[in-house]
């Protein structure tokens, strides 16, 4: 993610999309439409891609993704 590699972003989305989706569903508690969820999910991954240089290489991404989803 440090190099703004789109392949890395694709891998991140493929691996963690369901997790981020479930976090967002928990926050929205069925008040969000599918379109809203898709947009918020994309926003979370864009944020991670944009700020990826601040993530420690050995750190788990789940807490970071959950925090990004909640914000």
pLDDT in tens, 56-67: 766 688 888 998
> Nearest-CA neighbor of 37 among 18, 61, 50?
18
Best mean pLDDT range from 1-10, 43-52, 54-63:
43-52
Q: What is the pTM for the complete model shown?
A: 0.79
A 10 A CB-CB count for 11 gives 12
pLDDT value for 23: 92
């Amino acid at each position: 993610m440090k190099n703004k590699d789109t392949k890395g972003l694709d891998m991140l989305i493929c691996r963690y999309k369901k997790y981020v989706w479930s976090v967002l569903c928990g926050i929205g508690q069925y008040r969000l439409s599918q379109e809203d969820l898709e947009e918020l999910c994309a926003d979370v991954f864009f944020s991670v891609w944009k700020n990826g240089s601040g993530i420690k290489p050995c750190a788990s991404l789940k807490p970071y993704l959950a925090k990004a989803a909640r914000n």
